[in-house]
């Protein structure tokens, strides 16, 4: 009897994976291969082969290096990305430091407001920024009247830097705030106890401990800006790398090798930036909130310190929220040109947008929800396979999915065009022009973020909870459905919202893939509107709708998550 | 019970290379409140130079608050804190010359062991060559010279604890404060590290305050203990004094095991007896001072079981625990249970559960405490 009982148990212990797990892992691997690996490899392959013959060559790269426009574009992209990181740091550092390390009334509101720029497409903000900060924008008109000079906030590359910094600084704010909040008070007290205080204490203890968060945020901003296509295009800056790649493919054609060479350069720089930040941070995962530690120390501000601090915070918030205000004004303006404020107000743009652009809104909701859904399904499956099974090679699923982080949208777009152009659907049209392809591109681009959320959620589910279900008779599948997924719900929803919200305003990959206006999402429609001066009003109205859409969905899901959590904790 | 685990150590020691200018601590009438929560209630205390002193009490008694007050991380509402002859109550932490080892160790993860230990000396603008020397000496004292280049995350818990101590004594503070320094170690390391701490303290002759909720730790390494409860100091004394002559029911209960019986005194002069509620009586020594409403307090090992029928407090055995060298009986007396501890001789000599026994309490070892 005991032998009969022991044998199957020993057998399961030795088996590395169940057939179900193998099928699941294979399906995910196939998906990632088709829609991430093959397109990217195709792009790299084309860059390194001779047009026509298919022989290996470096001639395309030599051409790249010989062309002044590309070299200028490369250095412009570098310069813009680095300056954006610098300017974004100037916005983020005071906000993060003041709201985490001090008793600061309204810290929560400030952190929330600091997140707002992320939910607006940066290129939508760009037009508003022109009207507020441009050569003949509100601020410069006021400056000119009062002091007789203007500041070139928005001239050429300055405009890209300013717009991108306003849009992307929340990445630094969020990461840095988390790091600062995680510094246990005993870390500072130990230094004080040994004779350190004031700025020296900040420089020697607080700042180095917050460094990992800062680097994580800064490298993300660098990569995002380096890869961004829509913002420079909309500000009419063409001598940067991503716009060059786009222009080569759209104006010369899908066969021109330069678009592919530029794509490879974009990938290499992105990978290098991410690698460099990982290398600087290796072994520096400081979790300093520890057993017996004292938690977070928040210092009280003296009245005069408080006054300065609030002054700084308000100034930064006004600056970074200006695009929203500007966009709103533009959306209800009759005419706004060469004046501090619009000449008159009207709701006609909204009426026009609702009549003409209903399809954009519908498409956006459809694409972003589908992308978000694909992401959380893949995210949960990969997280489960990696954390809960012993399937050989399971880490590769994670690594491949996460590699999407380093693939610029424009590169993925080019890769999809090249790979799927020749694939014909039953009705004779190309797969590359089918709207599903846009959804897949969005899903692949957002997968790394959704995956992190799912990992975090699954790590918080104790394996004993699953074992309890299994010992009570639930199969693996039923355990996942009845125990694991419900317990992960908060993380899954968070992952869905991140994917949904960012996919709703994404343009880099979509710009390449939209073949038919009736398939276009909101961001694309916005971009088309913004091309002509007459379209700015409706474009702004569409932008406001996009912001509201994302904001409402985010709030809604936050509400669901919180209700879920409070129900579980029994409050 | 290892209540008497005090280990006396005397040894001829080599020079340490670290020469603290130690001082005593005087705390006078200190009060501290967080809002309506009165955390320290009129606390006064005197710690002699070179003494190894413990704040002992249950969690929430105010012991860590009092320690952080000495370090300068808490400010008293009223009262004085003197270090030597200097009132330090208004000084910020970084001007106090009070070394503190944190419960979490608070080693900075971005610095090596050597850089951690050098930190305080650098802040004091000590010349580089001297810093190198003192870092070496401090690490030598805790036996970690060879780990100077490691990062804290590469060390075991015990090693981290020693680095935290080295970092603190490197600046040669006037006093050393230890906030539950053993709580993050496993049981075996705890015994070893506490001996090391004791030896180190002896070598340096450094006034040391040790916060703990573990009476065994306090008893085994400290010269004197202040037992705290609810923001007040209950009693100060050597471990033996506290055990033998507890001043309150709280101290009697908190240190070791005590039987506490209700009752009343009757008779007068030399003929006083304590009538135990539930039956029986105990002679009262002529010299005993008995406050009104006092209860009878005695340790389980100060009761003897006698043959049934002999004079004494009569009760029935409820339970029996075999502890190795001793056997502990729970005996019902009226409505209370009296714990009786007897040396274990042989299984045959044990009393059985349900037996009726007679108990004799040694009156000279008993105390009469009202609160």
pLDDT tens figures, A51-80 = 777 788 888 888 888 888 999 999 999 999
3-state secondary structure chain B: CCCCCCCCCCCCCCCCCCCCCCCCEEEEEEEEEECCEEEEEEEEEEECCCCEEEEECCCCCCHHHHHHHHHCCCCCCEEEEEECCEECCCCCHHHCCEEEECCCCCCCCCCCHHHHHHHHHHHCCCCHHHHHHHHHHHHHHCCCHHHCCCCHHHCCHHHHHHHHHHHHHCCCCCEEEEECCCCCCCHHHHHHHHHHHHHHHHHHCCEEEEEECCHHHHHHHCCEEEEEECCEEEEEECHHHHHHCCCCHHHHHHCCCCEEECEEEECCHHHCEEEECCCCEEECCCCCCCCCCCEEEECHHHEEEECCCCCCEEEEEEEEEECCCEEEEEEEECCEEEEEEEECCCHHHCCCCCCEEEEEECHHHCEEECC
Measured distance CA(A91)–CA(A102) in Å, rounded: 18
Q: Which of A295-299, A460-464, B81-85, B205-209 has the lowest mean pLDDT?
A: A295-299
B20: confidence class by pLDDT, cuts 50, 70, 90: low
Measured distance CA(A507)–CA(A230) in Å, rounded: 6
Measured distance CA(A537)–CA(A296) in Å, rounded: 47
Of chain B, the percentage scoring pLDDT greater than 70 comes to 94
- Backbone dihedral angles phi then psi of residue A155, each to the nearest 5 degrees: -75, 125
DSSP assignment, residue A240?
A: S
Tell me which chain B residue has its CA closest to the CA of residue A289: B104
Nearest to B119 among A186, A194, A288 (CB): A194
Identify which of A197, A193, A200 has the alpha carbon closest to the alpha carbon of residue B102: A193
CB atoms within 10 A of CB B32: 22
Answer yes or no: is pLDDT of B14 > 80: no
Answer yes or no: is pLDDT of B7 > 50: no
Tell me which chain B residue has its CA closest to the CA of residue A198: B94
Which candidate in B63, B102, B167 is best for mutational testing of the A interface (most A CBs within 10 A)?
B102
Answer yes or no: is pLDDT of A234 > 90: no
Measured distance CA(A330)–CA(A485) in Å, rounded: 45
Q: What confidence score (pLDDT) does residue B334 get?
A: 80
Q: What is the predicted ipTM?
A: 0.75
B9: confidence class by pLDDT, cuts 50, 70, 90: very low
Alpha carbon of A106 to those of A98, A109, A148, A312, A341: distances in Å?
A: 11, 5, 38, 14, 30
- Backbone dihedral angles phi then psi of residue A426, each to the nearest 5 degrees: -55, -35
B176 versus A129: the higher-pLDDT residue is B176
A447: confidence class by pLDDT, cuts 50, 70, 90: very high
CB contact under 8 A, A286 and B73: no
Q: What confidence score (pLDDT) does residue B11 get?
A: 39
β-partners of residue B224 are B53
What's the gap in Å between the CA of A161 and the closest CA on chain B?
A: 33
Alpha carbon of B138 to those of A191, A316, A554, B19, B157: distances in Å?
A: 17, 48, 55, 11, 18
End-to-end CA distance of chain A: 49
Can you tell me the mean pLDDT for B273-277?
A: 83
CB contact under 8 A, B104 and A286: no
Judge whether A371 and A443 are in contact, CB under 8 Å: yes
Structure tokens at A128: 């508003």
Q: What confidence score (pLDDT) does residue B43 get?
A: 94
CB contact under 8 A, A286 and B124: no
Of chain B, the percentage scoring pLDDT greater than 90 comes to 44
Can you tell me the mean pLDDT for A490-507?
A: 83
CB contact under 8 A, A194 and B123: yes
Give the B-side interface with A, CB within 8 Å. 71-73, 92-96, 98-100, 102-104, 106-110, 119-120, 123-124, 151, 153, 167-168, 171, 179-180, 183-184
Can you tell me the mean pLDDT for A558-569?
A: 66
Which of chain A's residues have a Cβ under 8 Å away from the Cβ of B167?
Answer: 190, 194
Which of chain B's residues have a Cβ under 8 Å away from the Cβ of A294?
Answer: 104
Nearest to A292 among B73, B99, B183 (CB): B183
Can you tell me the mean pLDDT for A371-389?
A: 92
Burial of B135 (0-12, 13-18, 19+ CB in 10 A): buried
Answer yes or no: is pLDDT of A355 > 50: yes
CB contact under 8 A, A209 and B108: yes
Q: What confidence score (pLDDT) does residue B3 get?
A: 42
Which of chain A's residues have a Cβ under 8 Å away from the Cβ of B73?
Answer: 189, 192
Measured distance CA(A161)–CA(A126) in Å, rounded: 11
Show which of residues 157-216 on chain A sit within 8 Å of chain B, judged by CB atoms.
Answer: 184, 186-187, 189-197, 200, 204-205, 208-209, 211
CB contact under 8 A, B73 and A197: no
Identify which of A105, A285, A89, A301 has the alpha carbon closest to the alpha carbon of residue A182: A285
Answer yes or no: is pLDDT of B238 > 90: yes
Judge whether B138 and B18 are in contact, CB under 8 Å: yes
β-partners of residue B327 are B322, B342
Which of chain B's residues have a Cβ under 8 Å away from the Cβ of A204?
Answer: 119
CB contact under 8 A, A194 and B171: yes
CB contact under 8 A, B171 and A293: no
A398 versus B312: the higher-pLDDT residue is A398
Show which of residues 289-308 on chain A sit within 8 Å of chain B, judged by CB atoms.
Answer: 290-294
Tell me which chain A residue has its CA closest to the CA of residue B185: A291
- Containing H/E element for A20? helix A19-32
Q: What confidence score (pLDDT) does residue A12 get?
A: 44
- pLDDT tens digits, residue range A251-304? 888 888 888 999 999 999 999 998 898 888 776 666 555 555 555 667 788 888
Which of chain B's residues have a Cβ under 8 Å away from the Cβ of A190?
Answer: 100, 102, 106-108, 167
- pLDDT tens digits, residue range A360-379? 888 988 999 999 999 999 99
Q: What confidence score (pLDDT) does residue A4 get?
A: 43
Nearest to B103 among A283, A288, A292 (CB): A292
Can you tell me the mean pLDDT for B355-363?
A: 85
Burial of B149 (0-12, 13-18, 19+ CB in 10 A): exposed
Q: What confidence score (pLDDT) does residue A241 get?
A: 92
Structure tokens at A119: 């939910």
Q: What confidence score (pLDDT) does residue A9 get?
A: 44
Q: What is the CA radius of gyration of chain A?
A: 26
Residues present in chain B in total:
371
Does residue A49 sit in helix, strand or coil? strand
Which of chain A's residues have a Cβ under 8 Å away from the Cβ of B119?
Answer: 191, 194, 196, 204
Which of chain A's residues have a Cβ under 8 Å away from the Cβ of B175?
Answer: none
Which of chain B's residues have a Cβ under 8 Å away from the Cβ of A297?
Answer: none
Q: To the nearest whole number, what is the mean pLDDT of chain A?
A: 84
Which of chain A's residues have a Cβ under 8 Å away from the Cβ of B161?
Answer: none
DSSP labels for A141-187? Answer: HHHHHHHS----TTSTHHHHHHHHHHHHHHHHHHHHHHHHHTS-HHH
Structure tokens at A151: 């500041």
Nearest to B93 among A186, A193, A290 (CB): A193
A1: confidence class by pLDDT, cuts 50, 70, 90: very low
Judge whether B337 and B331 are in contact, CB under 8 Å: yes
């Amino acid at each position: 009897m005991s032998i009969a009982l022991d044998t199957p148990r020993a057998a399961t212990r030795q088996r590395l994976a169940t057939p179900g797990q193998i099928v699941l892992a294979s399906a995910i691997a196939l998906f990632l291969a088709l829609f991430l690996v093959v397109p990217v490899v195709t792009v790299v392959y084309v860059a390194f082969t001779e047009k026509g013959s298919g022989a290996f060559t470096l001639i395309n790269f030599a051409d790249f290096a010989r062309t002044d426009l590309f070299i200028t574009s490369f250095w412009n992209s570098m310069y813009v990305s680095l300056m954006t990181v610098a300017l974004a740091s100037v916005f983020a550092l005071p906000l993060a430091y003041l709201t985490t390390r001090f008793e600061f009334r309204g810290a929560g509101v400030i952190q929330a407001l600091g997140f707002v720029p992320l939910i607006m497409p940066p290129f939508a903000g760009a037009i508003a920024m022109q009207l507020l900060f441009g050569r003949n924008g509100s601020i410069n008109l006021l400056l000119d009247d009062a002091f007789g000079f203007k500041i070139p906030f928005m001239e050429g590359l300055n405009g890209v830097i300013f717009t991108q910094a306003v849009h992307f600084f929340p990445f630094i704010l969020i990461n840095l705030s988390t790091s600062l909040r995680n510094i246990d008070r005993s870390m500072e007290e130990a230094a004080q106890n040994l004779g350190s205080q004031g700025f020296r204490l900040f420089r020697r203890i607080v700042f180095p401990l917050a460094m990992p968060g800062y680097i994580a945020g800064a490298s993300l901003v660098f990569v995002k800006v380096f890869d961004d296509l829509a913002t420079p295009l909309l500000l009419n800056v063409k001598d940067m790398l991503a716009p060059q790649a786009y222009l080569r493919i759209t104006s010369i054609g899908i066969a021109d090798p330069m678009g592919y060479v530029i794509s490879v350069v974009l990938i290499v720089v992105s990978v290098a930036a991410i690698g460099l930040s990982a290398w600087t941070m290796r072994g520096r995962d400081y979790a300093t909130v520890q057993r017996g530690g004292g938690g977070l120390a928040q210092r009280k501000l003296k009245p005069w310190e408080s006054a300065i601090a609030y002054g700084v915070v308000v100034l930064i918030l006004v600056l970074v929220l200006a695009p929203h205000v500007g966009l709103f004004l533009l959306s209800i303006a009759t005419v706004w040109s060469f004046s501090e404020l619009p000449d008159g107000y009207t709701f006609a743009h909204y009426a026009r947008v609702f009549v003409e652009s209903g399809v954009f809104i519908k498409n956006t909701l459809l694409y972003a929800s589908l992308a978000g859904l694909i992401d959380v399904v893949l995210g949960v499956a990969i997280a489960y396979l990696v954390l809960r099974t012993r399937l050989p090679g399971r880490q590769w699923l994670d690594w491949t999915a996460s590699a999407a982080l380093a693939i610029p949208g424009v590169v993925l777009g080019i890769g999809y065009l090249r790979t799927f152009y020749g694939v014909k659907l039953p009705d004779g049209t190309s797969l590359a022009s089918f709207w599903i392809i846009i959804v897949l591109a969005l899903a692949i681009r957002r997968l790394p973020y959704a995956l992190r959320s799912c990992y975090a959620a699954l790590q918080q589910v104790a394996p004993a909870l699953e074992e309890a279900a299994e010992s009570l008779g639930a199969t693996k599948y039923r355990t996942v459905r009845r125990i694991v997924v419900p317990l992960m719900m908060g993380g899954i929803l968070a992952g869905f919202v991140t994917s949904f919200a960012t996919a709703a305003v994404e343009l880099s990959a979509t710009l390449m893939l939209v073949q038919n206006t009736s398939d276009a999402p909101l961001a694309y429609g916005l971009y088309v509107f913004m091309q002509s001066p007459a379209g700015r009003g409706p474009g702004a109205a569409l932008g406001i709708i996009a912001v509201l859409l994302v904001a409402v969905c985010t709030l809604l899901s936050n509400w669901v998550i919180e209700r879920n959590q409070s129900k579980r904790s029994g409050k | 019970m290892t209540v008497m685990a005090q280990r006396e150590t005397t040894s001829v020691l080599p020079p340490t290379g670290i020469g603290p200018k130690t001082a005593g601590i005087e705390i006078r009438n200190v009060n501290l409140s967080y809002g309506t929560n009165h955390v320290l209630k009129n606390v006064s205390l005197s710690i002699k130079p070179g003494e190894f002193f413990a704040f002992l009490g249950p969690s929430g008694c105010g012991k860590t608050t009092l320690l952080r007050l000495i370090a300068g991380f808490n400010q008293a509402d009223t009262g004085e804190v003197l270090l030597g002859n200097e009132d330090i109550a208004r000084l910020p932490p970084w001007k106090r010359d009070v070394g503190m080892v944190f419960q979490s160790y608070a080693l900075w993860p971005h610095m090596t062991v050597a850089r951690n230990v050098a930190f305080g000396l650098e802040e004091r603008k000590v010349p580089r060559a001297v810093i190198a020397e003192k870092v070496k000496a401090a690490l030598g004292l805790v036996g970690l010279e060879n780990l100077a280049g490691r990062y804290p995350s590469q060390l075991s818990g015990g090693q981290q604890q020693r680095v935290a101590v080295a970092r603190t004594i490197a600046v040669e503070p006037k006093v050393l404060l230890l906030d539950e320094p053993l709580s993050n170690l496993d049981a075996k390391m705890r015994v070893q590290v506490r001996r090391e701490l004791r030896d180190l303290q002896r070598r340096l002759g450094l006034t040391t305050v040790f916060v703990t909720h573990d009476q065994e730790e306090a008893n085994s390494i400290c010269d004197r203990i202040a037992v705290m409860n609810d923001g007040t100091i209950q009693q100060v004394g050597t471990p033996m004094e506290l055990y033998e002559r507890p001043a309150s029911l709280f101290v009697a209960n908190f240190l070791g095991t005590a039987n506490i019986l209700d009752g009343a005194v009757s008779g007068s002069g030399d003929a006083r007896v304590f009538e135990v509620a539930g039956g029986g009586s105990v002679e009262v020594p002529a010299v005993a001072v008995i406050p009104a409403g006092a209860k009878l307090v005695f340790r389980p090992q100060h009761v003897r079981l006698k043959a049934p029928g002999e004079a004494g407090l009569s009760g029935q055995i409820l339970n029996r625990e075999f502890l190795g060298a001793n056997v502990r009986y729970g005996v019902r007396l009226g409505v209370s249970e009296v714990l009786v501890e007897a040396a274990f001789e042989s299984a045959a000599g044990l009393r059985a559960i349900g037996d009726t026994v007679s108990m004799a309490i040694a009156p000279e070892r008993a105390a009469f405490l009202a609160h």
